[in-house]
Amino acid sequence: MSDILTGLNEQQRQAVSATEGFIRVIAGAGSGKTRALSHRFAYLVNEIGIMPSNVLCVTFTNKSAHEMKHRIRRLTGDNDTGYISTFHSFCVTVLQEDINVVQYPKSFLVLDNSDIDDMLKIIYEERGLTLRHMTFSRARDMIEIRKLFKDPEYYKFMISLSFEELHQKYLNAIEADDIIFWGYLYQEKKCFGLDYNDLIKYVLHIFSVDDAIRVKWQQRLEYIMIDEYQDIDDLQYRLMKVLCDYHKNLFIVGDPDQTIYTWRGANVKYLLDFDKEFPHVRTVMMMENYRSTPQILAAANSLIGNNKNRIKKNLLPTLPHGVPVVYHHAKTAEAEAKWIAFQIKELVDQGAKLSDVTILYRAHFISRTLEGVFLKEELPYTIYSGVQFFGRMEIKDTLSYLRLIVYKDDLSFLRVANVPKRNIGERRMKFLKDYAAQNQCSLYHALEKTIDNEIFKNTKAKRLLDLIEGFSRTYQDVPISELLNSLLEQSGYEAMLRTEGSQERLDNLAEFKQSVYEYETASGEECTLENYLSHVALLTNTDTASGRNAVKLMTVHTAKGLEFPYVFLCGLEEGVFPSKKTATLEAMEEERRLAFVAFTRAEKALYLTDAEGRNLDGSYRYPSRFIFNVDKDLLAYTEELDQSLLNDSNWHIGSSEKLMEGMSSQFAFNPGDRIVHSIIGAGEVIGIDRDKAAYLIKFDNLRTARSISLRAKIEAENGRN
């Protein structure tokens, strides 16, 4: 026992040794919650004598589960670590043992997004659908929404209907939504495949129809522990509640200030209201932070204190004093990146390693300017959970179009000749390659010479030639930014991305346009397309980015659960962080929690930066409200902000707060709520369109969902007289 409890503080000891009943641990960032979970598992096994196979420990990532197993093996000296897994992995385990109850084989498939897309391709080809009817991205979202809200008992059809009956429902469907949905269920059944939503649904269904199986699992799991409880959604909550209903031993760990996944269904109320849902709950507060300096924690506490929907608490420092949290306001994004590069070099001169430094941002496109500056400054870097900006598909495609206009080279031609689709597939490309080899010419010139050949009938090859030739004649007479806009429009490339529903790619393309405009402004008379392409070719050289000792670049979401000695949080501008999509006070609180997560990743030093300038829509960039949310005396400003900028920023932030207050008060219902319309009758809210100020409602007596304006008279179903 002394080994397991040694080195734990009083709150951690309470959490580890409290074994029976319902226990809630509110664990602040850096307070050692993983340590508490692993030691509690070891305490149950080594000291209480519980068999590891009777303990379930749920984490939210496979990586976390792997780390937990490693720690527990070290503590217990036993290779048996029970059930340490994600919710979905645990459900796979249950189904591999008991899915035969619903006449599925134990060799069922677990589907990922690429599998789903392959199924969608089959459905679209069979029923004559195109991406104009619905992009694959939207189709996947639609299927998930129907499974969760509109048709929550869909799985009963998958289980009870035969292949032929399910196929017939698919063939009888008329609307695109129904064709895709029933076609997908049929394709799933054909291969006995289950997606992520199915896994929990099937387990809950099996538990509901077979008491013996439910009781078997309830009795087997004598102790249940759940990490990151603030991130669980409704289905996970229902599963957990069923599993703990026999022994009634449930131990949860979470931090409401780190709820950053509501967009994918997480609901912090399950953590906040835990003591209302379960009897005799014991709450342990773990607030001692072992990660960050007192200066970093003071800034983080000050920031998150602006949120209303939280358990009031402060992280308590245990480390000695460090350096102040620095705030730097730059005149441009490039100046911001140069300042960051200079600070990193200063840290290295003081003995830090490049790998000790991490740069965080709200969205991937922010990395573009950083990459350009770091390459010039020969600062090695690595991008996590993303590719380097100029190596991204949409950027490489666009550069290939620009190169084709000037150079008509084979590499560019091969990349974009059939992007968007022009029916220039493998057979026709082979024809061009053979001709080019025989006649010692480029592929582009081969197409010019053979465009009248029968093989190019019913293709858009002639349009491609006309496009490139037209721009080749005029590109020297127009600004690159103007040429780029025309090229993206006339080629159909930007329209293709919109059709695919790829907002991140469109955002990256917008950032690329901004970079071209900035290059034009800086280059003056030397700004030719040839010079620009040479400039970018140097930027795409990633030799300096290789090696382990490199600066890390990643989004804040990617950094969740990690920690780094030195953190730069950049792009702290209104419309970037917080995101321009933030429309309600609740959403703004989530953005602030995300900023809090970023602050609390830092161990030794934290730097906050933003930049002036204009966005592509012409709007002015203001410093983020999250900078002003921190008490000014807790930040070391590199220089004072101009008073006019402060006044404008305060006006902008105040105006947006008022708009959000109005928007938040308008939406009285959430997805999943039952309502009654004064004319149509009862139904269920399955979505909210904040831009249109409308609910998406599936009414009980209507076959399809309806968008209903907030002006309509709607009340809660249980509020009827």
pLDDT, tens digit (0-9, with 9 covering 90-100), for 177-210:
999 999 999 988 888 888 888 999 999 999 999 9
Q: What is the C-alpha separation between 267 and 264, in angstroms, rounded?
A: 9
pLDDT of residue 664: 59
The whole-number average pLDDT for the span 590-616 is 91
Selected catalytic residue, list 98, 195, 222, 227? 227
pLDDT for the residue numbered 545: 36
Structure-token match 């709150």, residue found: 11
Q: How far apart are CA 341 and CA 378, in angstroms?
A: 10
Residue 258 has pLDDT above 90, yes or no: no
Q: What does DSSP assign to residue 551?
A: E
Question: What proportion of the chain, given as a percentage, has pLDDT over 70?
Answer: 93
Residue 386's pLDDT is: 52
Contact 309, 585 (CB under 8 A): no
To the question of whether residue 29 is assigned a binding role by annotation, the answer is: yes
Judged on CB neighbours under 10 Å (0-12, 13-18, 19+), 161 is: middle
Through-space distance between the first and last CA atoms of the chain, rounded to whole angstroms? 60
Question: SS3 for 116?
Answer: helix
Give how far Cα 645 sits from Cα of 333, 397, 607, 612, 615, Å.
17, 39, 21, 10, 16
Mean pLDDT score, 345-364: 94
Token pair in block for residue 78:
């036993």
Does position 667 have pLDDT exceeding 80, yes or no?
Answer: no
714-716 and 674-677 beta bridge pairing: antiparallel
Residue closest to 444 by CA, chosen among 469, 476, 479 = 469
Tell me 250's DSSP state. E
More confident residue, 73 or 354: 354
Predicted pLDDT at 100? 93
Q: Identify the weakest region by mean pLDDT among 116-120, 185-189, 273-277, 381-385.
A: 381-385
Is 30 labelled a binding residue?
Answer: yes
Give the mean pLDDT of 366-379: 91
CA 635 to chain CA mean position, Å? 29
Q: For the ranges 432-436, 546-550, 703-707, which has the lowest average pLDDT?
A: 546-550
pLDDT score for 181:
95
Across 17-26, 287-296, 534-543, 623-632, least confident range: 534-543
107 is in an annotated binding site: no
In tens, the pLDDT along 279-331 reads 899 999 999 998 999 999 999 999 999 998 888 899 999 999 999 999 999 99
**Quick one: the chain helix, strand, coil %, rounded to 5?**
55, 15, 30
Longest CA–CA span in the chain (Å) reads 85
How much is the mean pLDDT over the chain?
Answer: 87
What does the pLDDT average to over 92-112?
Answer: 86
Task: Note if 61 is an active site residue.
Answer: no
Residue 510 pLDDT > 50: yes
Res 547: pLDDT = 43
**pLDDT of res. 633:** 96
Which residue did the predictor score with more confidence, 388 or 607? 607
Residue 542's pLDDT is what? 35
Which range has the worst mean pLDDT, 372-386, 627-641, 643-657? 372-386
Whether pLDDT at 136 is above 90: no
Q: Is the pLDDT reported for residue 68 higher than 90?
A: no
- Annotated ligand binding at 33? The verdict is yes
534 known ligand binder: no
**Predicted pLDDT of residue 291:** 92
Spatial contact of 531 and 569, defined as CB atoms under 8 Å apart: no
Q: How far is Cα 99 from Cα 108, in angstroms, rounded to an integer?
A: 9
What single DSSP character describes residue 148?
I
Structure tokens at 319: 């480390």
Rounded average pLDDT over 348-361? 95
Side chain identity at 30, as an amino acid letter?
G
pLDDT tier at 151 (50, 70, 90 boundaries)?
confident
pLDDT of residue 617: 60
- Would you state the pLDDT for residue 231? 87
Are 315 and 28 a contacting pair, CB within 8 Å?
yes
49 marked among binding-site residues: no
CA-CA distance, 130 to 657, in Å (whole number)?
41
- What are the φ and ψ backbone dihedral angles of 49, each rounded to 5 degrees? 95, 20
Query: 340 near 359, Cβ under 8 Å?
Result: yes
Least confident of 263-277, 440-454, 532-546: 532-546
**Residue 472: pLDDT over 70:** yes
- Mean pLDDT is lowest, of 252-266, 508-522, 652-666, for 652-666
As a whole number, mean pLDDT of residues 89-111 equals 87
Examine the residue annotation and report whether 228 is marked as an active-site residue of this protein.
Answer: yes
Q: How far is CA 190 from the centre of its chain?
A: 31
| pLDDT one-digit tens code per residue, 72-92 | 888 887 766 778 888 888 898
Higher pLDDT, 501 or 228: 228
Cα 622 to Cα 649: distance, rounded to the nearest angstrom: 6
Is the model's pLDDT at 540 over the cut of 70? no
Q: At residue 387, does pLDDT exceed 60?
A: no
Q: Is residue 636's pLDDT more than 70? A: yes
Determine which of 109-113, 211-215, 220-224 has the lowest per-residue pLDDT on average.
109-113
Structure tokens at 2: 């002394």
Banded model confidence at residue 2, pLDDT cuts 50, 70, 90:
low
- Which one of 210-224, 389-403, 511-525, 569-583 scores highest in mean pLDDT? 210-224
CA distance 544 to 662: 50
The stretch 22-50 carries a mean pLDDT of: 90
Catalytic residue among 151, 222, 228, 590: 228
Which residue in 588, 594, 593 sits closest to 661, CA to CA?
Answer: 588
Distance between CA 571 and CA 333 in Å, rounded?
8
Q: Is 700 a catalytic residue?
A: no
Q: Closest by alpha carbon to 366, among 632, 576, 679? A: 576
Give exposure, 468-494, as e/b (b: 16+ Cβ within 10 Å): beebeeebeeeebbebbeebbeebbbb
648 is catalytic: no
Catalytic residue among 13, 33, 71, 415: 33
For 719, the token pair is 């509020």
Q: What confidence score (pLDDT) does residue 541 get?
A: 36
Average pLDDT over residues 691-710: 82
**Average confidence (pLDDT) over 120-142:** 89
Q: Which of 76, 258, 343, 600 is catalytic?
A: 258
- Give residue 721's pLDDT band: very low, low, confident or very high (50, 70, 90): very low
Known catalytic residue at 216: no
Mapped onto helix, strand or coil, the DSSP state of residue 58 is strand
pLDDT at residue 625, rounded to an integer: 96
Tokens of 31: 């307070």
Annotated catalytic residue: which of 140, 214, 422, 601?
601
**What pLDDT does 355 receive?**
92
CB-based contacts of 720, cutoff 8 Å, min separation 6:
676
Amino acid at 252: I
The pLDDT of residue 73 is 83
Catalytic residue list contains 33: yes
The answer to whether residue 692 scores a pLDDT higher than 80 is no
